[in-house]
Structure 1
């Protein structure tokens, strides 16, 4: 298996962490979650995080990815990856490391997202997101453009199909 970077992109509650787990098992690969890095730092995105703190979290993620890829590991980055300039920074990092980057866009309609938020509030499987933070996130989210050539998946896309498509890009001659 060729090493590389798999960058997830999608709105909150779209299923990115589920896809990350499927990819980590199927490729195999290591997940680097920006939410987990924030949690290590005592921050919770559902309450809103100042941009300077997000920038520090991104720097830490870049450091971890650089180390893992240097060790020959394929890395799956679990994040919303919005705005678009963040995806550009990951592309620059992949180019500097001389590894391929696969952008996987987990696309789910807003009604499903809101239903998932409400279910989460009832069972608390994960931290909540305030209504204000969710509204700002949904309003400012920048989905990938056609030029970004993202692999678009949804909750109905079989895990094996996602893994096969990502593996194909990672192992393609460059």
Structure 2
């Protein structure tokens, strides 16, 4: 694995701005983007409607295959997902380390009031697919923010990203 190859795992709730951050970050790192929403869409699934656990497991398997392929070709990768559970984040960290890549956890930390406002704005002027009330409420209740020992980089928006220098990134 070439030096400087990174796995940047995005973490944050629905409507926190992760996809916007991924689109801003990927060219900056010359990285590919693996979006679990896009994988689900190709599979005819939408997380905003609720997806059975076994389907999420398959989506994660497909995402891991895509990430391994990018890393195998010497490219960095940005993973666009909520990464809502510590166990999922730990799995991505292990994959990165096993592939000889640097692992960076980028937490898009947005409060629930902002998430709900963005969702309401999206319902008035749809720019992305919606999330049902039940799925959003459960997601917000179950979301596990990164703990201190996970060494996440916390940002509030893609604008914050412009002021954030990632480890091993050229000045």
* Deviation (angstroms), 1:95: 1.6
User: 1:122-133 alignment to 2 at 5 Å?
Assistant: 122-133=124-135
* Deviation (angstroms), 1:36: 0.2
TM-score between both structures, scaled by the size of structure 1: 0.92
Decide which of 141, 144, 158 is 1:142's aligned counterpart. Answer: 144
Question: Size of the alignment, in residue pairs?
Answer: 168
4+ residue runs over 3 A deviation = 156-159
> What is the aligned partner in structure 1 of residue 70 from structure 2?
68
Query: What is the rounded CA distance, in whole Å, between the counterparts of 2:58 and 2:122 in structure 1?
Result: 28
Query: What is the rounded CA distance, in whole Å, between the counterparts of 2:28 and 2:93 in structure 1?
Result: 23
> What is the aligned partner in structure 2 of residue 151 from structure 1?
153
Question: Does structure 1 residue 91 correspond to structure 2 residue 87?
Answer: no
Question: Does structure 1 residue 14 correspond to structure 2 residue 7?
Answer: no
CA contact (8 A) 2:4 2:168 kept: no
Query: What is the rounded CA distance, in whole Å, between the counterparts of 1:68 and 1:135 in structure 2?
Result: 34
CA contact (8 A) 2:17 2:158 kept: no
Which secondary structure does the structure 2 equivalent of 1:8 belong to? strand
Distance 1:126 1:12, change over 3 A: same
**Unpaired stretches in structure 2, ≥5 consecutive residues:** none
> What is the aligned partner in structure 1 of residue 55 from structure 2?
53
CA contact (8 A) 1:15 1:155 kept: yes
**Unpaired stretches in structure 1, ≥5 consecutive residues:** none
Query: What is the rounded CA distance, in whole Å, between the counterparts of 1:7 and 1:170 in structure 2?
Result: 16
More helix by share: 1
Query: What is the rounded CA distance, in whole Å, between the counterparts of 1:140 and 1:157 in structure 2?
Result: 27
Cα RMSD over matched residues?
1.4
